[in-house]
Amino acid sequence: MKLTAQEISDLLNGQVEGDPGVEVSRVAKIEDGEPGAVSFLANPQYTPFVYTSNASVIIVEKGFVPEQQVKATLIKVESPYSAFAQLLETYNKTKSKRKGVSSQAYVASSASIGENVYMGPFVYIGENVVVGDNTRIYPGSVVDDNCRIGNDCLICSNVTIYTDCRIGNGVTLHAGVVVGSDGFGFAPQQDDNYLKVAQIGNVVIEDQVEIGANTTIDRATMGSTIIRKGVKLDNLIQIAHNAEIDENTVIAALTGVSGSTKVGKNCMIGGQVGLVGHIQIADDVRIGAQAGVSSSIRKKGFTALGSPAIEYNTYKKAYVHFKNLNQMANRMKELEKKLKNLEELHGNQ
């Protein structure tokens, strides 16, 4: 990618201060900036690097006023962090544009493949699969029979999409993601064995979802496990059968969402959180890392922490006592000892 400062400014709806014709071909952190690179300043503690960086272009906040001479051309925007994220996405798309189907890929004759699609070596596309325009499927991935994948998707290496699943537009599935594996359904029998319950549903992933490496989303027993529009899932997450994650919710790594649990819109769930099955989480809920959620949270905007999870401020107050339990126990022992001595003294009188 090679862009002028003016082209970057136009892309980001910014304002150039300096040479609009200076060209950049790579991105860099502000402290590591070098000629030909573009960087950004979002955290005030990195402000000194604006004056020492060798980057050719630096993206700064609209109200930034230099206190000394700046070598770089500045592009002033409303939000440097968001603007740089947009620029990185443009750079990434330019860098990774691949087209064509490898001769080592297998595509069933009944499959429908859109325009400008890339499929790497050892990709498997099953019967009646539909793959939309501009979608890229990297080596070793499997898309089983009757699946639908929308336009502009990125399917990284070794992703497995089981039968009948539906993937929307602009979806990213990172390496090792499994979509549509069987839900964990086993019926206990009288002889203490378990009878497997057939999982005949599917998984539906709506538009603009991103799913991190080695995350697993189980198919529904019946109906669909649903990941709604704009959801972002981190690496190593387990979403169980018939769960539903509503729009624009973000979930950090190592979290488990049990079967038939419904998570609302715009929630933020920290790492290593566990949600039991058949509960509901309201919109805009925040759940801190390692929390164990054992019952529904029906209050919009609720913040929970702990295991079992309770309201955040209540948890903080309780934790003050919890961390002092050893001291409190020792004081109790001392009080019990004094009480016993008083009882003995009273009994001897």
Cβ-based neighbours of 305, under 8 Å, separated by 6 or more: 287, 288, 291, 312, 315, 316
SS3 49: helix
The model's pLDDT over 147-175, given as tens digits with 9 standing for 90+, comes to 999 999 999 999 999 999 999 999 999 99
- State the DSSP code for 41: -
Active-site positions read 241
Q: How confident is the model at residue 348 (pLDDT cuts 50, 70, 90)?
A: low
The model's pLDDT over 60-105, given as tens digits with 9 standing for 90+, comes to 999 999 999 999 999 999 999 999 999 988 887 766 668 899 999 9
The model's pLDDT over 177-214, given as tens digits with 9 standing for 90+, comes to 999 999 999 999 999 999 999 999 999 999 999 999 99
Mean pLDDT of 281-285: 98
At residue 95, the pLDDT reads 65
Provide the mean pLDDT of the chain. 95
Long-range contacts of 235-243 (CB under 8 A, 24+ apart): 235/174, 236/212, 237/211, 237/212, 239/215, 240/183, 240/184, 240/277, 241/182, 241/183, 241/184, 241/185, 241/199, 241/201, 242/183, 242/201, 243/218
At residue 278, the pLDDT reads 98
d(C-alpha 265, C-alpha 282), whole Å? 7
Counting DSSP H helices and E strands in the chain, the numbers are: 5, 40
d(C-alpha 287, C-alpha 26), whole Å? 37
Please report the sign of the dihedral spanned by the C-alpha atoms of residue 28, residue 33, residue 39, residue 41: positive
- Half-sphere exposure of residue 324, counting CA atoms within 13 Å on the CB side? 9
Instruction: Work out the angle at residue 238's Cα, subtended by the Cα atoms of residues 234 and 240, and round it to the nearest 5 degrees.
Output: 135
d(C-alpha 310, C-alpha 305), whole Å? 6
d(C-alpha 165, C-alpha 131), whole Å? 12
The model's pLDDT over 5-15, given as tens digits with 9 standing for 90+, comes to 999 999 999 99
Look at residue 325 and tell me whether its pLDDT is greater than 90: no
